[in-house]
A and B are shown apart, each in its own frame.
Chain A
Amino acid sequence: MAKLSLLDVYKYLPQTNCGECGEVTCMSFASKVLERKYKPTDCPPLVKDEKYRDKLQALSKLVAPPVKAVVIGKGNVAVTVGGKEVMYRHELTWHNPTALAVDVSDLDPPEKIEEKCKKIEAFRVIRIGQELSLDLVAVRAASGDPNRFEKAVEVVRKSCTYPMILCSLDPTVLAAVLRKPEVADSKPLLYAATKENWREMVVLAKKYQCPLVAFEPTSLADLKSLVLTIRNAGVEDIVLDPGTYTEGPGLKETLNKFVMIRRAAIKAEEEGLGYPILGVPAVTWLDGGEDPVKSYEETYLAAVMMARSADILILHTLQPYALLALTTLRQNLYTDPRKPVAVDPGLRTFGQPDENSPVLLTTNFALTYYTVANDIEAQGNTCYLLVANTGGLAVECSVAGGQLNASVVKSLIDESKIETKVKHRKLIIPQLAARLKGDIEDATQWEVIVGPRDSSEIKEFLKKVWPPEKN
């Protein structure tokens, strides 16, 4: 959406302050629309009341992002892609994290397809309180045989709840599976319309109300022509695949196209390119090759595409190191840059610490704090944790930059009144802050023990050094 003011939004609201949305006033609802916390349809009267229909339509148009948001799948596993409003994440934030799909082939035996699907759904990692996982299964009609594809899709549906991308350039193959109401109802993404098959693909996408990929690797003019055509024929939910090459000049071309498409949508508001972008790092495997080399290559190429605002990536690898790196990168890039990077400094307790419990030190960088706090908790340690105000910097940076220093620690000890809570005067500091040991001891008269490098080692470390009398 363009730069809007509060009043731009407010004038389309009922202005009754009815409170049905959960906000006290329409004005506060408007401000949350600007922050992208609410959509126009989150205002119940706007949706329910016939007399507001024009307002709802106008407001929806006003706040529509230049890159259309497209939904794949249905229910609680549905994935929204696109909806981007800016080129760079610092300008606002990137919405709708890149959806990660892994491919399965209908040439594989059913047991193998089942196994792969289960692995896809089983991949889960908890990082900083968030569960990271994959999103989609891309089923490839590698056989070209409608019957075989139908069976493979059946196996996928039974072994995995994720929405599907149905991949075949042959409309009769896709038609064969879409005929089944349960497949069409699951709202798969159809891959793909080309300049050869678009007539039939458009019929399928419209008949079954499924989003459709436009695949045209020749040029962006040709891609645009294909998109305008299928849009003109009545397909609204479109995803763009400008073609993914993963080596040499082809790779350069691919990434340039990603940027040009996004620029065209956001800066030039160009018709026909304001849709999510799909990349296929899986083509890294086109000429065969083996793990770990190919997974490694595919992963960093996928990372590069993600940094260039790809909205969907179809992967081939299922190696945990690859998926861990990519889901972590996605979490990083899609973090709201407006979110504070710091937690409140001060004293935290874990378990029920007493006057003999150890006292640890860390900084108030949110990531550092949550990592340390999660580890302390998970390991079942009982202790105090002093959180120093480093202006939201991690340990290593704040030691180098001087934000973590002896006087900060001194005032933290004073303000937290930790000296009234423990009998001892021993402070365990992170190993990365080891160089501050002398200074802190001079400033606070506490004894400083240099702790482990990583908070995952706190329990083992405490076993060795706590209680101190043991030594």
Chain B
Amino acid sequence: MDRTSLSTIASVDGLFCRYGSLTVLQGLSLDIGPGVLGVLGPNGAGKTTLMRTLATVLPVQVGRVVVAGVDVSERRNVVQARRSIGYLPQVFGYHGGFTAREFVEYVAWMKGLSAPHARVEAEWALSEVGMDEHGSTRMRSLSGGMRRRVGIAQALVNRPQLLLLDEPTAGLDPEQRITFRRLMRSLGESSAVVVSTHLVEDVATACTRVAVMSAGELRFDGSPDELVRLGGSVDAEGNSPIERGYLAAIHGTGR
């Protein structure tokens, strides 16, 4: 059955992924539409594997993944799909000697934009993340937060329909995280943003939808309010309502 609908930008259907004898994704199915989807889960839940599969970095082993109407389960289609994808990996690799502007421009060119177009789009992407004033700073000289913003700029530069951000707030100080959440909300207004995180506050404040994963399975798929409701009473384990909902989803103890 085709799970995609008109508002669906990407869909995952029955996705399995194994690394040797370890099964990381176990028949995962998920539709992704406009807005910000937060993917929550403990370490080893399979979040990064899901993100890398959606980014076409990993091939689809079993199941079907469609991005922007293109079935990327067929490897020959991935190049076409990549034009619609922006991806910030969990560990963001960059060329330290490049300036922020050069780096984003270079990535834009690698994403298939012509050199003059890449330059224009790099300026736009940097301004979107508030880094236009630091465009001439070398990547290695930027702070961790600024570097992450450049990472988002490189993901944005081809104006993707599907923007994948793998733990974008990891290692940031509280003020930087607040800025990031604002940025994610704004990005979600024009495209489908998938944010992998293990910080429930990110989800509570920035996401329009939450998917909770554990042991390669989808344990919850709904709005942040629904996750809060899943947490139930204040007597349950967890410091905040959404944390309680998250734990309930993980352990299957929700109402």
Decide whether A and B assemble into one complex: no
| Residues of chain B having any CB pair with chain A under 8 Å | none
| Residues of chain A having any CB pair with chain B under 8 Å | none
